[in-house]
């Protein structure tokens, strides 16, 4: 039985850091494990231009622990009014790594998202020309569509037509949750233009977990966890070594009062144990030898950036996830698997 595992330093290709005190509290967990992270732009107000992205990047850098070699990769929040020239300029100066498409009202802080795809086609056409990737939250928001079917319907109504109409656009289908999404991404594998991130929590829970012994608000996220057959399809995809699938935690911190309320926020906070959670999944699948592909190699290959030079080492050692992470005197966050034991632990990271 493998007792230790050393990997190229991984990256997180989908991360929420928030701002202010929350940012300062959660960032050290990610910086300790990952070399880079794609930082989501859904702040209030969202990051919709270069000035906003520069200011947010500066705030992240200022919050990094001393001696940390971590690089935030900035994204631009796509709206119906986004300017192709502004986004292209951000790409040209190396500021924007990608552009994020939230269907309006699909998830947390997405009220300024895209209402109709036709309104942003000039931006998408420019992105296709300059090679700037589009990151999509893959759910329709039609109230007539069941919440558990929104990803599958998104593929049919939005993603398939988008890839057909813009054949050179590079797209990341983020936090996929269904066997439908896995099959769609696999069907596009030869093109190399469609990637997909998979979260640790979607690899570990199905929709029944939300109701185990009562409502579990800290397991509520969007896209919501699906049936067990979908979870198993995600595990098979992540552990397969297939280049189109790579690590994106979608770690999304919310204060306890925002989660434990009559209308709680969507988001699961996995950052305190992100890499250990993935290691547990790969270990249980008997595929620890493929974790480096998923965590450290496939993402850089898709984005066309060098693999990190450093290494991280995990050991088979029991430890307990903290019950809560304090943010301020009156705010705390409950991490995924809070108070529960994990069998792998990160013990070293080099740059």
Catalytic residues: 250
Among 254, 246, 255, CA closest to 203: 246
Cβ-based neighbour number of residue 145 at 10 Å: 16
Token pair of 218, please? Answer: 């800290």
* Residues with Cβ within 8 Å of residue 165, at least 6 apart in sequence: none
Among 167, 137, 88, CA closest to 252: 137
231 neighbors 205 (Cβ within 8 angstroms): yes
In whole angstroms, what separates CA 335 from the centre of its chain? 16
The alpha carbon dihedral of 285, 3, 292, 196 has a sign of positive
Token pair of 93, please? Answer: 């100066």
Ramachandran bin of 23, using left for φ above 0, alpha for ψ from -120 to 50, beta for the remaining angles? alpha
333 neighbors 26 (Cβ within 8 angstroms): yes
Query: Coil, strand or helix: which one is 174?
Result: strand
């Amino acid at each position: 039985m493998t007792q230790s595992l050393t990997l190229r330093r991984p990256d997180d290709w989908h991360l929420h850091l928030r701002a202010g005190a929350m940012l300062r509290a959660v960032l050290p967990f990610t910086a300790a494990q990952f070399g880079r992270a794609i930082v989501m732009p859904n702040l209030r107000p969202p990051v919709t231009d270069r000035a906003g992205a520069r200011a947010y990047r500066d705030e992240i850098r200022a919050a990094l622990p001393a001696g940390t070699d971590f690089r935030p990769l900035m994204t631009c929040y796509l709206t119906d009014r986004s300017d192709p020239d502004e986004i292209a300029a951000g790409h040209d100066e190396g500021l924007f790594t990608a552009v994020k498409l939230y269907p309006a009202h699909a998830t947390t802080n997405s009220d300024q998202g895209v209402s109709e795809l036709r309104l942003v086609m000039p931006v998408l056409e420019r992105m296709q020309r300059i090679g700037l990737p589009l990151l999509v939250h893959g759910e329709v928001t039609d109230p007539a569509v069941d919440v558990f079917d929104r990803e599958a319907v998104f593929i049919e109504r939005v993603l398939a037509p988008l890839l057909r109409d813009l054949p050179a656009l590079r797209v990341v289908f983020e936090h996929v949750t269904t066997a439908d999404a896995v099959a769609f991404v696999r069907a596009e594998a030869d093109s190399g233009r469609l990637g997909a991130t998979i979260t640790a929590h979607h690899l570990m829970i199905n929709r029944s977990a939300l109701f185990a012994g009562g409502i579990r608000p800290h397991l509520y996220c969007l896209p919501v966890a699906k049936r067990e057959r979908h979870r198993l399809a995600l595990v098979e995809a992540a552990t397969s070594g297939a280049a189109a699938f790579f690590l994106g935690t979608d770690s999304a911190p919310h204060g306890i009062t925002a989660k434990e309320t009559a209308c709680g926020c969507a988001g699961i906070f996995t950052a305190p144990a992100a890499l250990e959670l993935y290691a547990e999944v790969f270990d249980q699948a008997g595929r620890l030898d493929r974790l480096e592909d998923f965590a450290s190699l496939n993402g850089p290959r898709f984005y066309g950036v060098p693999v990190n030079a450093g290494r991280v080492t995990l050991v088979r050692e029991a430890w307990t996830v903290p019950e809560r992470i304090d943010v301020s005197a009156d705010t705390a966050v409950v991490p995924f698997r809070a108070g529960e034991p994990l069998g792998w632990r990160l013990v070293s990271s080099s740059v």
